Structure 1
């Protein structure tokens, strides 16, 4: 994956002086040591610690256990710092995971309410309530310790997507936050519970149009909306084709992939999701199927109104028949059970989550190991997400050094995650403890901002493959779908501004007026005390080793490090009033636009 990034960004890297005098080829390699890279050696790790292969051979340059800790944290969190690295090296990975799962936390919607009260104290009622979710998300990432829960919730939101871009969702910030509660609260719960809560949440009902989805009326020639019926299968559970346990497609006698469902299945399941509407009127009056979304409490699960539920016989996937005359809730529960217990769900969900946490192209063996845990956590429980994420993060393919350097390994960091990792690394802080980051203003230009997907298919497809290098090898590179000449140039510009200037303007906005407040603009500040100390005591090379661990997971190549060090030394020698802080910011910037940072291996 690193070479794909290079092929797109070499002109920019050269312009920055990062590749001066180097001969870079943008193609994947197939060899290990023994084909010109070294003297006949192939390096494998005997444990879970991580190091670059040449440094594994020579024993120089980095401390492998700290690098392994940083690499793990890069996979498991949206951002980490030196304290987190030290915790892992002291307590171990599995102990950290267990502690994260049992850690008390503040519900996302409760934090949204707290932020709402805080902003009202400044602005009154006039502010963009949709942005409350952005403010709360980043405040949690930058200041709270439930890091694995945060990463899991953000990953699940990219599987079961709703978006603030839909007006009815965007103007109801608190109500939208209760949808995110499903993933935040259920991060280590059961996938079946998540599936039902998603189905019944009115925000999903609005987004995929099964809110007030009525039974067929043949006189009026109207039929149930099929949107949610389609997407719950395609995107949330079973996918388009039948899968083996290892995630590879099943084939028929002619060698063709076997579809999991057809249009008849969609029509039949659409009948199941009829009769759902708001559970409570905003004015407290009795609920009714006739009330629109703007008349009801969108934070409460939808109710099933029998008068508009289709009670005819329904033939669900795999020819399972739901007999006529059943209650709407019975139909719904049975259908969710059928989908949840389909053999595709384990490998389907496992692949989606591995792609979010570890790598774009997990091996079939990796998928099979994780899917096996999804199917049974060892205690007879299916869908245990705590067991699943532990299986993903502790798997040899996620932890062993050998895997980290294979050309098919790794993933491109998502745009907002590049910045959360930067901000967390240097313990970004404000006087108020609040982080009013309006990420659409910054990361939105890179094709992604929190809770703001352009469609139910997320910001990028899990099946997208970069054309020149990745696709011919039969691999995928999902995040590269939003990485192009425009977003790559914008990334360089944004990263320079975020590192060398103010990380972001900590401000709220009056609703619809465009006026920015000034009385709560306590500017976010990096903490570079440790970096200044390292630079003073160990020089530029010591600083680079330190930043290598912190930002690049111990995977900054010797060549890149040397080029950056030479550039920094030239700046120090030739620029008047070039301070140590200037040097540190330049070092951080150069590293953050390098493939060693952006490609997570």
Structure 2
């Protein structure tokens, strides 16, 4: 499709500059409809990072980088969901966090850990912002939230893992925990004394320039714990500075043997298949840990450093399990396309226009966005939209012991909501809206209109464009028959557009078919 080999394409993607969010969000905040009359950010202004995400997901040239950053956002979670009071309506903080993941998507995981630790969004979201050293007199203790989640979710997980991601067990046959509460308590001391980069540790975020929300936090030594800190077999001596303590702590987590398999398996899940084989995980872990990988055409990539994201991504996408047609014969291979990916694919496939909040419709409308079933950077909790180890009860995949994370948000309500959501766009219904919405996400069906009088050709075209040729003959025949029954003209309906009705029906039927919903 691109005229280049897979290896050449990947090298080109790695070389593309990053499309970022912060500058766009800052400029948007200057618009009058982004604030109240008192100058406070309103709900529309608070949605700016969501607007920016969709703009980049649909129109940016660096699509692989955007996809990797989005995958990372589901592992290292910061949410500005309306229930997350600390980050809700803090668009600069969230956009800055988005850019950390985007800039480092092809960088090194160690840099990601450092930047997220100092980011105001993470400090606010996981409540270690303005966490103070312990005080025996008042029985005050450091906030433990980030210490717990950086271990459990962002680096090493709950149980010790083998190189291939399988769980290690002890002599009693039970999983071996990676940490306990004493590790959490010791690590929590590390993340004390962090606040916005202002003059006073206790300066209220409400009274400070918004620009400080998109600037790394700084350590205030007088509020940082200088006592001895012990965790995961590492002891930081008493009197060590806050900056040095954070560096030692992050190095300890980064060098932990669990990091490679723990992150590699989740990245495979987000990009290729929900239940990867241990061998697949092991190969990706090796690329992540060695920082080296050789592409199919012989091109060597990587800098030889542990945590290299380029080598991890290359190993995920170029692995035989990801690219071999033989895998299509296995029902256990593939992943459910998550709702946000489905909508972005539709918009890119048909060059949807008007991707601006000024012309916004459903993706930006808080009364209807829930129908899609997923909103990037707005997961309901730090545990993302779904758990990586989710095994669906009462299902065939569950009976087989397969992990299928996306099934956690797949039910009759979300399936119907998604179909209704996509119907609005597939049939270009925004054209019938008011002036504000009339140019929002309108598909360009020029190529499809040329096929509207030939339903079989139209369905074959959409099968390749949307479903990578995975539709079964039965599914294609059902769609063809349905489309064939739609008249191209109807004098009894005002402004009837037969070709659009045929195209919209075919698009919707493809995008709600099982073969499309499961990416293989």
1:373 aligns with 2:287: yes
Give how far 1:557 is off: 0.7
3-state SS of 1:315 partner: strand
Unaligned residue ranges in structure 2 (runs of 5+) = 293-302
The farther-off stretch of 358-367 and 125-134 is 125-134
Partner in structure 1 of residue 332 of structure 2:
408
Match 1:295 to one of 189, 207, 211? 207
Asked if the contact 1:245/1:347 (under 8 Å) is kept, the reply is yes
Aligned position for 2:504: 585
* Paired position in structure 1 for 2:419: 492
Once superposed, what is the RMSD of the aligned Cα atoms?
2.4
Q: Deviations over 1:504-525 (max 9, x none)?
A: 9999xxxxxxxxxx55753332
Q: 1:356 to 1:149 in 2, by over 3 A?
A: same
Contact 2:93 2:213 in 1 (8 A): yes
Q: Does the CA-based 8 Å contact 1:506-1:524 persist in structure 2?
A: no
Number of residue pairs the alignment of both structures matches: 495
What is the aligned counterpart of 1:304 among 191, 211, 219? 219
Q: Does 1:324 align with 2:238?
A: yes
Indicate if the aligned counterparts of 2:18 and 2:102 stay in contact, CA closer than 8 A.
Answer: no
Q: Deviations over 1:336-380 (max 9, x none)?
A: 000001010001111111111111101001000000011011243
1:524-562 deviations in Å (ceiling 9; x for gaps): 3211111122345xx211111110000111101111001
Corresponding residue number in structure 2 for 1:21: none
> Are the equivalent residues in 1 in contact too, given 2:25–2:49 (CA < 8 A)?
yes
TM-score in terms of structure 2 length? 0.90
**Contact 2:372–2:421, Cα closer than 8 Å, also in 1:** no
Q: Which has the higher contact order (CA 8 A, sep 6+)?
A: 1
Name the SS of the counterpart of 2:230 in structure 1: strand
Aligned to 1:65: none
CA deviation digits over 1:231-268, x for unaligned, max 9? 00000000000001100001112221110000110011
Query: Paired residue for 1:568, among 466, 473, 483?
Result: 483
- Report whether the alignment pairs 1:466 with 2:383: no
Contact kept? 1:498, 1:504, Cα under 8 Å: no
Report how far residue 402 of structure 1 moved. Answer: 1.1
Q: How far has the Cα of 1:387 moved from its partner? A: 1.4
Query: Is 1:355 matched up with 2:269?
Result: yes
Aligned with residue 8 of structure 2, among 86, 95, 100: 95
Name 1:452's counterpart in structure 2: 378
What's 1:134 paired with? 50
Aligned to 1:393, which of 313, 317, 333? 317
Q: Distance in 2 between matches of 1:236 and 1:172?
A: 23
Equivalences for residues 252-263 of structure 1 within 5 A: 252-263=170-181
Change (3 A) 1:456 1:185: same
Q: Distance in 1 between matches of 2:390 and 2:32?
A: 40
1:426 is aligned to: 350
Is the Cα–Cα contact under 8 Å of residues 350 and 367 in structure 1 kept in the other structure? Answer: yes
1:476 aligned partner: 403
1:542 and 2:457 correspond? yes
Any idea what SS the aligned residue of 2:47 has?
A: helix
Task: Say whether 1:236 aligns with 2:151.
Answer: no
For structure 1, the 5+ residue unaligned runs are: 1-85, 281-286, 508-517
Match of 2:128, SS state, is coil
Aligned to 2:441: 524
